[in-house]
Amino acid sequence: MCFFKGLLLIRFDVYVVFGRENLSGKDIDYMEQKKCTPTSIGGQAVIEGIMMKGPTCMATAIRKADGSILVDKKESKSFIKKLKLNKIPILRGFLAFFESMFTGVKCLMFSAKECDLEEDTEQMSKFEKWLMEKFGDKLFDIFMYISVFVSLLLGIGLFMILPKLTVEWVSSLAGTQVHEGISVLIEGCIRMILFVCYMLLISRMKDIQRVFQYHGAEHKTIFAYEYGDELTVENVKKHTRFHPRCGTSFLVLVMIVSIIVFFFFVPPADNVWMKILWRIALLPVVAGISYELIKFAGKCNNAFTRMLSKPGVWLQHLTTKEPDDSMIEVAIEALKAVLPSDSSESTKW
Ligand SMILES: [Zn+2]
């Protein structure tokens, strides 16, 4: 049942898809305290495992049902770099966002497929078996596109349409017309509240709790590496699970930036659905600006950039949990697999 359980997780866990730290940035607070060298290593928690991304390759390490650790290493390909689109500000951010969504789901699908295959075939329902026979390996690709699409729909429905409709509904109940600027501010607050509630709700699911623990393991392991510690379970345990370079910070920034962008770009027509469509159309701009800001926050260390990364670190109280030793072992395997073997390929950025 693991495969479909995985799909369920993907469908409900917008966070896992979006909350990936592939955005390089200098470690802000911790850097000042010790000899921490920020790196371009990023990662993402998957089902019973972790994906790590190094300068040239990425690796997904999974804890199998029999207790062994499976490591799948691949060269990391980026169509943005290939097409040289990474030179165009804002557009590159939007494209990077989509690219990381697809690789993120791919890794999730891989982990769903591999985490306990033995149990999988025994407990498969007739419908699942029929699907597997009919589509074979293509089934995973089909589900990958469906899950990205459903995640996007869920994200837009929950975080774009619902806040706007709530404001409209309340204002019609009160019999007054809310000014568009004020509506944007209230919607922004509703969006934040919905996001926190959503996190609290999904973190009650047992499977998601384990994903959050793996997320914590990933941060701790990256920290241990950045502090130059030998990668052992004991060393990794000592580090904090709150990492300023986390994808959670990107999500928070998207929410803040969306308030500002929606405030200044007034919709062309005075109709609720037109206003919602207008906001959806502006999303690429919001994602692009947020990406530029997080890059800037990575390069500079000042009061403004410290402030930018703070809310993300607070939210990690929800999106990370303390891992157990077996999870740290998996994180170490994933990280070791992506470290460059020769000194010419540096992980420093
Ligand atoms: Zn993170």
In a domain? residue 298: yes
Q: What single letter denotes the amino acid at residue 235?
A: N
Cα 256 to ligand 1 centroid, rounded to whole Å: 19
- The C-alpha atoms of residue 294 and residue 169 are separated, in whole angstroms, by 35
Looking at residue 14, its pLDDT comes to 38
Give the tens place of pLDDT for each residue, 303-322.
Answer: 887 787 788 888 899 899 99
Question: In angstroms, what is the span from residue 267 Cα to ligand 1's centroid?
Answer: 34
The mean pLDDT of the chain is: 81
- Whole-number Å distance, alpha carbon 125 to ligand 1 midpoint, is 35
Residues within 5 Å of ion ligand 1, judged at the Cβ atom: 21, 246
Distance from Cα 246 to the centre of ligand 1, integer Å: 4
Give the residue, 145 or 38, on which the prediction is more confident.
145
Give ∠ CA 11-17-23 in degrees, rounded to 5: 175
Average pLDDT rounded to a whole number, residues 280-303: 83
Encode pLDDT of 102-127 as tens digits: 788 888 888 887 876 545 556 667 77
Q: How far is the CA of 294 from the centre of ligand 1 (A)?
A: 14
Torsion sign across C-alpha atoms 122, 126, 131, 136: positive
Classify residue 151: in a domain, yes or no.
yes
Q: Is 11 within a domain?
A: yes
Is 344 part of a structural domain of the chain? Answer: no
What is the mean predicted confidence (pLDDT) over 267-273? 86
Mean pLDDT of 75-95: 82
**Which one has a higher pLDDT value, 313 or 129?**
313
Tell me the C-alpha distance between 236 and 220, whole Å: 6
Confidence band of 345 (pLDDT split at 50, 70, 90): low
Ligand 1 centroid, distance to 247 Cα (angstroms): 5
pLDDT over 70 for what percent of the chain? 85
Q: Is residue 329 part of a domain?
A: yes
**Count of domains in the chain?**
1
Element containing residue 188 per DSSP (H, E): helix 180-202
Question: In this structure, which long-range contacts are made by residues 200-206, counting pairs with CB atoms below 8 Å and at least 24 apart in sequence?
Answer: 200/318, 202/12, 202/13, 202/15, 203/318, 203/319, 205/12
Average the pLDDT over 35-60 and give the result.
86
Summarize the confidence of residues 7-16 as an average pLDDT: 39
What pLDDT is recorded for position 332? 97
pLDDT 10s digits, 207-261? 889 999 999 999 999 989 988 999 999 999 999 998 877 888 888 888 999 999 9
* 44 alpha carbon – ligand 1 mean position (Å): 7
pLDDT band at 4 (very low <50, low <70, confident <90, very high): very low
Give distance in angstroms: CA of 134 to centre of ligand 1: 37
Which residue range(s) make up the domain with 327?
2-338
Distance 124 CA to ligand 1 centre (A): 33
User: Which range in 17-21, 77-81, 343-347 is most confidently predicted, on average pLDDT?
Assistant: 77-81
Residue 243 CA to ligand 1 centre (angstroms): 7
Residue 346 inside a domain? The answer is no
Quick one: pLDDT at residue 35? 65
Q: How far is the CA of 298 from the centre of ligand 1 (A)?
A: 15
Residue 154 in any domain: the answer is yes
Q: Is the pLDDT of residue 270 over 90?
A: no
Q: Is residue 130 part of a domain?
A: yes
Answering whether pTM is above 0.85, one says no
Distance 242 CA to ligand 1 centre (A): 8
User: Is the model's pLDDT at 297 over the cut of 50?
Assistant: yes
In this prediction, residue 130 carries a pLDDT of 83
The Å distance, Cα 48 to ligand 1 centre, comes to 16
